[in-house]
Structure 1
Amino acid sequence: MGRRFQGIEGAHSADIGATRDTGFMNENSTLRFNTRGDTAKGSSDTALRIDQMQCLNLRGRNVTCMQCADTCSAKALKLTVDEVSLDAGRCTACGACLPVCPSGAMWLTGFVPQQFLETVAGAAEIHIYCSQSDDPDSDIIVPCLQVLDTRLLAAAAADGAETVVLHGTDQCSSCDRGDARAVFEQIHANLKRWFTDVPVHLIQENRAQIGKGERSGEDQIQLGRRNFLRFAGAKVAHGASKWLVDAAPEQDEATSQRFIFPSDGSSSRPSAYQELLAERAESLPWRDHQLPWRSLVFSDACNACLTCAQRCPTGALVPKETKSTISILFRLRQCTDCGLCGHLCPESAISCASVASSEELRAPAHRVMHRSLRQCAGCARSFVPGPDSGELCTTCQNELDVANDWKTMLIDSS
Structure 2
Amino acid sequence: MGPPNAAGVFEGVRSEAIAVHQFRCTQVRNRNANCMRCAGACTSGCISLVDGSLHVDADKCVGCGTCATVCPTCALESLNPTDAQLLRDTLASREGDRVTIACRPLIESIGPFMRASACSEVVCLGRVDESLLVQLAERRVNRIELACGACDSCEQKQGLSCARTVVSNVRSLCEAWDIDLDVQVVEGVRLDLLADPKAQLRAERSYAEHFSAGASNPPLAQRADKARFARTDCRIPEDSSVLKVMKDGTLPHFLPQRREKLLTALALAGSEPEGTIETGLWGCVVIDGAKCSSCRMCTTFCPTGALEKFDDEDGSFGVLHFPGSCVNCESCKSICPDQAITILPHTRAAYILEGSVHRYAMRRRAVALNDEHQILNTMKLAIDGDVFER
Answer whether TM exceeds 0.5 for this pair: yes
Q: Which residue of structure 1 aligns with residue 335 of structure 2?
A: 344
- 2:250, 2:301 within 8 Å by CA — same for their partners in 1? no
Among 96, 103, 108, the alignment partner of 1:130 is 103
Among 357, 360, 364, the alignment partner of 1:369 is 360
Q: Which residue of structure 2 aligns with residue 26 of structure 1?
A: none
Name the CA distance, whole Å, in 1 between partners of 2:91 and 2:299.
35
Q: Which residue of structure 2 aligns with residue 288 of structure 1?
A: 275
User: Could you list the per-position Cα deviations for residues 105-125 of structure 1 after superposition, in whole angstroms to 9, with x for gaps in the alignment?
Assistant: 211232433554466569622
Secondary structure of residue in 2 paired with 1:352: strand
Name the CA distance, whole Å, in 2 between partners of 1:83 and 1:312.
22
Name the CA distance, whole Å, in 2 between partners of 1:113 and 1:218.
27
Instruction: Please list, as runs of the form range in 1=range in 2, the aligned pairs for 1:27-38 lying within 5 A after superposition.
Output: none
Q: Which residue of structure 1 aligns with residue 160 of structure 2?
A: 181
Instruction: Please list, as runs of the form range in 1=range in 2, the aligned pairs for 1:138-217 lying within 5 A after superposition.
Output: 139-167=119-147, 169-170=148-149, 172-178=151-157, 180-191=159-170, 193=172, 195-196=174-175, 199-202=181-184, 204=186, 216=205
Q: Which residue of structure 2 aligns with residue 220 of structure 1?
A: 209
Secondary structure of residue in 2 paired with 1:230: coil
Q: Which residue of structure 1 aligns with residue 236 of structure 2?
A: 259
Q: TM-score, normalised by structure 1?
A: 0.61
The alpha-carbon distance between structure 1 residues 213 and 311, as it changes in their structure 2 partners (threshold 3 A), is: same
Whether 2:322 is the aligned partner of 1:331: answer yes
- Counterpart residue type for residue 76 of structure 2: M
Q: Which residue of structure 2 aligns with residue 229 of structure 1?
A: 215
User: Could you list the per-position Cα deviations for residues 323-381 of structure 1 after superposition, in whole angstroms to 9, with x for gaps in the alignment?
Assistant: 86644332322212222212211223223346554322233363533458xxxxxxxxx
- 2:32, 2:335 within 8 Å by CA — same for their partners in 1? no
Name the CA distance, whole Å, in 2 between partners of 1:310 and 1:128.
40
Q: Which residue of structure 2 aligns with residue 279 of structure 1?
A: 264
User: Could you list the per-position Cα deviations for residues 102-159 of structure 1 after superposition, in whole angstroms to 9, with x for gaps in the alignment?
Assistant: 2222112324335544665696222324345455556533343211134532343233
Secondary structure of residue in 1 paired with 2:63: coil
The alpha-carbon distance between structure 1 residues 284 and 353, as it changes in their structure 2 partners (threshold 3 A), is: farther
- Counterpart residue type for residue 264 of structure 2: E
The alpha-carbon distance between structure 1 residues 63 and 327, as it changes in their structure 2 partners (threshold 3 A), is: closer
- 2:38, 2:71 within 8 Å by CA — same for their partners in 1? yes
The alpha-carbon distance between structure 1 residues 129 and 180, as it changes in their structure 2 partners (threshold 3 A), is: same
- Counterpart residue type for residue 326 of structure 2: C
The alpha-carbon distance between structure 1 residues 46 and 172, as it changes in their structure 2 partners (threshold 3 A), is: farther
The alpha-carbon distance between structure 1 residues 371 and 218, as it changes in their structure 2 partners (threshold 3 A), is: closer
Name the CA distance, whole Å, in 2 between partners of 1:187 and 1:265.
32
Q: Which residue of structure 2 aligns with residue 98 of structure 1?
A: 68
Stretch of structure 1 that moved more, 71-80 or 305-314: 71-80
The alpha-carbon distance between structure 1 residues 356 and 139, as it changes in their structure 2 partners (threshold 3 A), is: same
Secondary structure of residue in 2 paired with 1:220: helix
The alpha-carbon distance between structure 1 residues 279 and 258, as it changes in their structure 2 partners (threshold 3 A), is: farther
- 1:126, 1:165 within 8 Å by CA — same for their partners in 2? yes
Name the CA distance, whole Å, in 1 between partners of 2:295 and 2:388.
31
The alpha-carbon distance between structure 1 residues 269 and 193, as it changes in their structure 2 partners (threshold 3 A), is: same
Structure 1 vs Structure 2: percent identity of aligned residues?
20
Among 289, 293, 296, the alignment partner of 1:306 is 296
Secondary structure of residue in 2 paired with 1:229: coil
Q: TM-score, normalised by structure 2?
A: 0.65
- 1:153, 1:200 within 8 Å by CA — same for their partners in 2? no
The alpha-carbon distance between structure 1 residues 80 and 111, as it changes in their structure 2 partners (threshold 3 A), is: farther
Secondary structure of residue in 2 paired with 1:127: strand
**Larger-Rg structure:** 1
Name the CA distance, whole Å, in 1 between partners of 2:203 and 2:153.
25
User: Could you list the per-position Cα deviations for residues 26-69 of structure 1 after superposition, in whole angstroms to 9, with x for gaps in the alignment?
Assistant: xxxxxxxxxxxxxx9xxx95522333332323333225222211
Aligned length: 327
- 2:43, 2:156 within 8 Å by CA — same for their partners in 1? yes
- 2:307, 2:319 within 8 Å by CA — same for their partners in 1? yes
The alpha-carbon distance between structure 1 residues 329 and 120, as it changes in their structure 2 partners (threshold 3 A), is: farther
Secondary structure of residue in 2 paired with 1:315: coil
Whether 2:42 is the aligned partner of 1:72: answer yes
Instruction: Please list, as runs of the form range in 1=range in 2, the aligned pairs for 1:362-401 lying within 5 A after superposition.
Output: 362-364=353-355, 366=357, 368-370=359-361, 384=364, 395=374, 398=377
Name the CA distance, whole Å, in 1 between partners of 2:150 and 2:28.
37
The alpha-carbon distance between structure 1 residues 321 and 229, as it changes in their structure 2 partners (threshold 3 A), is: same
Whether 2:19 is the aligned partner of 1:49: answer yes
Stretch of structure 1 that moved more, 69-78 or 324-333: 324-333
The alpha-carbon distance between structure 1 residues 84 and 279, as it changes in their structure 2 partners (threshold 3 A), is: farther
The alpha-carbon distance between structure 1 residues 74 and 120, as it changes in their structure 2 partners (threshold 3 A), is: closer
Gaps of 5+ in 1: 1-13, 18-39, 235-256, 373-383
The alpha-carbon distance between structure 1 residues 322 and 83, as it changes in their structure 2 partners (threshold 3 A), is: farther
- Counterpart residue type for residue 290 of structure 1: I
